């Protein structure tokens, strides 16, 4: 029988929630059928832009959820996120051809905000239960989120098949309605398991023996953290390290078919398969960061991303698929390490708000590099990926600045607040 202080139930609850709210990002599976079902004209940008709007709302949800989490706790925040997410998907089920444009409000804004709110709460909760293995904790939480696409993409396809009429048109009212109901039920049930660890449990945990992972001497508020150089280094790292993936992701299939010798089936496989190394990167590199340090693991990811960007300038056939997988691994890894290093540097008490702000770097990166992808990648892929390699180098530079700061923090056994304004 599990003890009351066992970390298994709350962590399991958080992982199920992550699986639920992560389904927001299976849009690539739904996009083509959605456009056909709602009779959108070929020139409509709506199906393409839904993913970008999702990500932007998700990042804002991280910020809002972080602030709420630090004030009300993980349970209230997770419930808020699950309810908003389910509501957004449920409202999408009510759309018609005349109101198709409202998907930006329902699926993207309401659903995306809810997903981000729940995501941040779950990462914070799992970290608090495993403070001695913070990298692994973050990796576990974000892996479950990324795994949602792998697990539920076949479910979404099955639902579209089930709700296809005799004319071959998918009724998305049924698809989104079923998804909303299922994820609301599972999400709310899982929220009942979410709670903060008691002091007695934390006091009994072993202290981390790895001196490569340096933690803050005290908890910094958001305003204090924002006055430090490392805070903005993390923001810039998130912005730059995601550049190559943001250049790659929109056109994996199109570039593969048009210029890299892939068949249509191979191109579709490349898109689907990328989710596997993405999830693997989240878990493997986060756990590795507990052993070799956050900075070392982050720089390794910069090297992986750099290599992927360089090979992407000429890779064709099977090597092209492998290169996409390498870039996906390099994209997944930072998702967990960024959360862990933010908590290491600025403490656990206000980790939700602190991580929520630095995560806005992901939203900015998505907008900037998606625009670059549309303007440059279609014309000259080689130049675009050379730029992606450059962003990986810039990301590594931000980690080197943080490394200087961590060495000072380690020597002093925890820096005074005044010292935190310099690396």
Is residue 132 in a domain? yes
Residue 164's φ and ψ, nearest 5 degrees, are: -95, 130
Distances (CA, A) of 188 to 20, 92, 173, 228, 401: 10, 20, 22, 38, 42
Task: Report how far Cα 291 is from the mean position of its chain's Cα atoms.
Answer: 23
Closest alpha carbon to 278 in 252, 314, 296? 252
Q: What is the pLDDT of residue 221?
A: 85
Q: What percent of the chain has pLDDT over 70?
A: 90
Is residue 335 in a domain? yes
Tell me: do 325 and 302 sit in the same domain.
yes
Total domains in the fold of the chain? 2
Q: Where is average pLDDT lowest: 38-42, 300-304, 418-422?
A: 418-422
How open is the CA angle 182-188-190, to the nearest 5 degrees?
100
Tell me: do 189 and 247 sit in the same domain.
no
Token pair belonging to 375:
């303007």
Q: What is the pLDDT of residue 417?
A: 36
pLDDT of residue 104 exceeding 50, the answer is: yes
Average pLDDT over every residue of 221-231? 89
Rounded Cα gap, residues 205 and 240, in angstroms: 36
Using pLDDT thresholds of 50, 70 and 90, give the confidence band for residue 212: low
Rounded Cα gap, residues 159 and 150, in angstroms: 15
Using pLDDT thresholds of 50, 70 and 90, give the confidence band for residue 327: very high
Residue 24 has what DSSP assignment? G
Closest alpha carbon to 187 in 8, 18, 7, 6? 18
Q: What percent of the chain has pLDDT over 90?
A: 34
Tell me: do 44 and 9 sit in the same domain.
yes
Is residue 307 in a domain? yes
β-partners of residue 170 are: 164
Q: What is the pLDDT of residue 338?
A: 87
Token pair belonging to 39:
């009779």
Residue 170's φ and ψ, nearest 5 degrees, are: -80, 135
Residue with tokens 């390290």: 241
Q: What is the pLDDT of residue 207?
A: 66
Is residue 380 in a domain? yes
Tell me: do 223 and 131 sit in the same domain.
no
Q: What is the pLDDT of residue 419?
A: 34
| pLDDT tens sequence across 140-185 | 888 888 888 778 878 888 899 899 887 788 899 999 999 999 999 9
Q: What is the pLDDT of residue 67?
A: 84
Tell me: do 163 and 241 sit in the same domain.
no
Q: Choose one of 168, 203, 238: the last residue of a domain.
A: 203
Average pLDDT over every residue of 249-269? 81
pLDDT of residue 218 exceeding 80, the answer is: no
Contact 137, 342 (CB under 8 A): no
Contact 293, 217 (CB under 8 A): no
Distances (CA, A) of 414 to 207, 214, 406, 407, 410: 16, 9, 9, 10, 6
Q: What is the pLDDT of residue 246?
A: 81
Tell me: do 68 and 114 sit in the same domain.
yes
Using pLDDT thresholds of 50, 70 and 90, give the confidence band for residue 1: very low
pLDDT of residue 245 exceeding 80, the answer is: yes
- The phi-psi region of residue 93 (left if phi > 0; otherwise alpha if psi is between -120 and 50; otherwise beta) is alpha
3-class SS letters over 358-403 = HCHHHHHHHHHHHHHHHHHHCCCHHHHHHHHHHHHHHHHHHHHHHH
Residue 100 has what DSSP assignment? G
Q: Choose one of 153, 173, 203: the last residue of a domain.
A: 203
Token pair belonging to 193:
């398991």
Tell me: do 257 and 176 sit in the same domain.
no
Alpha helices in 192-263 (DSSP H): 199-203, 222-225, 229-241, 243-248, 252-259
Rounded Cα gap, residues 400 and 407, in angstroms: 11
- The packing angle between helices 74-92 and 46-72, to 10°, is 160
Is residue 210 in a domain? no
pLDDT of residue 321 exceeding 60, the answer is: yes
Q: What is the pLDDT of residue 418?
A: 34
Using pLDDT thresholds of 50, 70 and 90, give the confidence band for residue 133: confident
Q: What is the pLDDT of residue 298?
A: 94
Q: Compare 148 and 81 and report the one with higher pLDDT.
A: 81
Q: Compare 324 and 269 and report the one with higher pLDDT.
A: 324
Rounded Cα gap, residues 209 and 132, in angstroms: 9
Using pLDDT thresholds of 50, 70 and 90, give the confidence band for residue 422: very low
Rounded Cα gap, residues 385 and 351, in angstroms: 34
Tell me: do 198 and 220 sit in the same domain.
no
Tell me: do 183 and 298 sit in the same domain.
no
pLDDT of residue 186 exceeding 90, the answer is: yes
| pLDDT tens sequence across 339-389 | 888 888 888 778 778 888 888 888 888 778 877 776 665 557 788 889 889
Q: Choose one of 180, 203, 226: the last residue of a domain.
A: 203
Is residue 348 in a domain? yes
Closest alpha carbon to 348 in 197, 230, 236? 197
Closest alpha carbon to 243 in 362, 324, 380? 362
β-partners of residue 138 are: none
Residue 183: give the domain boundaries.
1-203
| pLDDT tens sequence across 39-62 | 888 667 787 678 778 888 998 898
Q: What is the pLDDT of residue 182?
A: 92
Is residue 94 in a domain? yes
Tell me: do 306 and 346 sit in the same domain.
yes
Rounded Cα gap, residues 219 and 329, in angstroms: 31
Closest alpha carbon to 353 in 339, 367, 366, 365? 339
Q: What is the pLDDT of residue 17?
A: 96
Report for 121-125, 145-149, 232-236: range of highest mean pLDDT: 232-236
pLDDT of residue 249 exceeding 90, the answer is: no
Q: What CATH number should be reported for the domain holding residue 374?
A: 1.20.1250.20
Tell me: do 184 and 231 sit in the same domain.
no
């Amino acid at each position: 029988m599990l003890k009351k202080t066992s970390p298994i139930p709350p962590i399991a609850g958080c992982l199920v929630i992550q699986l639920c709210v992560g389904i927001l990002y299976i849009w690539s599976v739904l996009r083509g059928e959605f456009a056909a079902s709602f009779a959108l004209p070929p020139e409509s940008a709506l199906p393409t832009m839904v993913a970008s709007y999702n990500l932007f709302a998700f990042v804002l949800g991280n910020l809002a959820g972080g602030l709420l989490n630090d004030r009300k706790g993980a349970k209230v925040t997770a419930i808020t996120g699950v309810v908003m997410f389910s509501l957004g998907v449920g409202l999408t089920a009510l759309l018609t051809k005349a109101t198709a444009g409202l998907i930006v409000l329902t699926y993207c804004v309401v659903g995306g905000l809810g997903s981000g709110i729940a995501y941040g709460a779950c990462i914070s909760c799992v970290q608090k239960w495993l403070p001695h293995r913070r990298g692994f904790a973050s990796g576990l939480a974000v892996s479950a989120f990324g795994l949602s696409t792998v697990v539920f993409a076949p479910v979404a396809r099955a639902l579209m098949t089930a709700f296809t009429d005799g004319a071959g048109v998918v009724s998305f009212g049924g698809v989104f309605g079923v998804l909303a109901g299922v994820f609301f039920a599972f999400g709310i049930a899982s929220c009942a398991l979410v709670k903060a660890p008691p002091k007695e449990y934390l006091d009994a945990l072993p202290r981390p023996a790895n001196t490569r992972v340096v933690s803050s001497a005290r908890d910094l508020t958001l305003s204090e953290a924002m006055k430090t150089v490392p805070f903005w280094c993390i923001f810039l790292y998130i912005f730059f390290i995601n550049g190559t993936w943001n250049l790659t992701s929109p056109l994996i299939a199109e570039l593969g078919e048009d210029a890299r010798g892939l068949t249509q089936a191979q191109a579709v496989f490349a898109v689907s398969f990328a989710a596997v190394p993405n999830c693997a990167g989240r878990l493997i590199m986060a756990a590795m960061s507990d052993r070799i340090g956050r900075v070392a693991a982050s720089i390794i990811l910069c090297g992986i991303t750099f290599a992927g960007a360089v090979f992407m300038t000429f890779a064709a056939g099977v090597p092209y698929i492998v290169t996409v997988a390498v870039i996906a691994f390099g994209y997944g890894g930072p998702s967990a390490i960024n959360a862990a290093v933010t908590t290491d540097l600025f403490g656990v008490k206000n980790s939700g708000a602190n991580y929520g702000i630095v995560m806005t770097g992901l939203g900015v990166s998505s907008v900037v590099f998606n625009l670059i992808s549309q303007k440059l990648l279609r014309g000259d892929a080689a130049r675009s990926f050379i730029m992606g390699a450059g962003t990986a180098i810039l990301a590594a530079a931000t980690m080197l600045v943080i490394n200087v700061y961590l060495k000072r923090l380690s020597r002093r056994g925890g820096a005074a607040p005044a010292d935190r304004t310099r690396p």
